Chains A and B, each alone.
Chain A
Amino acid sequence: MENNELSPEKSLQLISDMISKSRAELSKTTGKPFLIWGFCVLATSLLVWITWSQTGDPKWNLLWYAMIVVGGGLSLLFQRKGGKQGEKRIARTFIGSAIDTTWILFGCISCSVAVINLFVAIPVLLYILLLMGFATALTGSLLKRPAIIACGVASIIVCIPLGAGFLSMGPDSTLAMSLSALISLVIPGFILNGKASKTPQNV
């Protein structure tokens, strides 16, 4: 790109193209964390379901704490790998910061709820399902992606009744978390990555 003079139409086109490119970059960087955490939650919930069902011991729920360490480690690893490949030059967007804050708050509140649950029995699964669906819908709203908003809302509508009693409150209730991970994290992750890869990189 050079510093040529422009016609008004070409100027508007250029502005529109550059803004679309920035938005596509944001989708690309948002999709990966969704997939990492989505598969972590999905794998952990299935593992907890299997072990809890087989042994009858609810202590297998402690695996959720291990998932936080594994998910955090994988996120850091992929972030560094992306940086080394030059995939991501540093740019911080207002929307990106708002999305980061949403998910950091979700993580902090979920961990707090899980820790409180060690001392006082509370419906931890329901709180987390509700928060996860809400965080996904909010992310979709910030990115202006109706499909992601729909995933968040669908996750709440489908999974809350399952977690609240349609499934027995024993090991089977963990399956509500598997379904929620699929609807509110894995599917949106694929949608965001798909959108980003379809956008032309050179305008």
Chain B
Amino acid sequence: MFKKLDPLLHSELRLAVMSVLLGLKEADFNYIKEQTQATAGNLSVQLDKLAQAGYISVEKGFEGKRPKTTCRITPAGIQAFENYVESLKDYIKR
């Protein structure tokens, strides 16, 4: 019996965001946008979904006069990512 893949992570953009954030202490919105080559609107929606699930924390603030959105992966996000990779290995082995 296959382990169920986390539907929240099993999407190209959300998985890319989590992979980028995994090795980072924090990253701003523009950095993630550049790395994932996503559109601002789509990325914003996907970040909200990940934040609602508690996988990432999103902090909105200002740097000078410019708005700045900083994202960090949470311990729950790291755990979910690890479980997802374990499930993937299971699929590939079989």
Contacts and interface: CB of A to CB of B under 8 A. Distances in A.
State whether these chains interact.
Answer: yes
B25 interface: yes
Given A3-B12, A14-B19, A94 B42 contact: no
- Describe B's contact surface by its main secondary structure: helix
B64 interface: no
A1 B33 CA distance: 10
A53 interface: no
- Describe A's contact surface by its main secondary structure: helix
Given A14-B19, A15-B19, A90 B14 contact: no
B20 A18 contact: yes
Given A3-B46, A18-B35, A89-B30, A11 B10 contact: yes
A6 B91 contact: no
Size class of the contact patch on chain B: 20 to 34
Contacts, number: 90
B27 interface: yes
Interface string B35-49: 111100010001000
Interface string A25-43: 1000000000000000000
B19 A90 contact: no
A3 B36 CA distance: 11
Contacts of B19: 14-15, 18-19
Nearest to B94: A8
Interface in A82-103: 89-97
Nearest to A88: B31
A2 B23 CA distance: 22
Among B12, B14, B36, B92, the most chain A Cβ lie within 10 Å of the Cβ of B12
Given A2-B12, A3-B42, A91-B24, 15 more contacts: A2-B13, A3-B11, A3-B12, A5-B11, A8-B5, A8-B88, A11-B10, A11-B84, A14-B15, A18-B20, A19-B23, A89-B31, A89-B34, A92-B24, A96-B25
Interface of A: 1-6, 8-9, 11-12, 14-15, 18-19, 21-23, 25, 89-97, 202
29 contacts: A1-B16, A1-B38, A2-B38, A2-B42, A3-B11, A3-B14, A3-B42, A5-B10, A6-B10, A8-B92, A11-B84, A12-B85, A12-B92, A14-B12, A14-B15, A15-B85, A18-B16, A19-B23, A25-B35, A89-B31, A89-B33, A89-B34, A90-B30, A91-B24, A91-B27, A91-B28, A92-B26, A94-B23, A96-B25
Interface of B: 5, 10-16, 19-20, 22-28, 30-31, 33-38, 42, 46, 70, 84-85, 88, 91-92
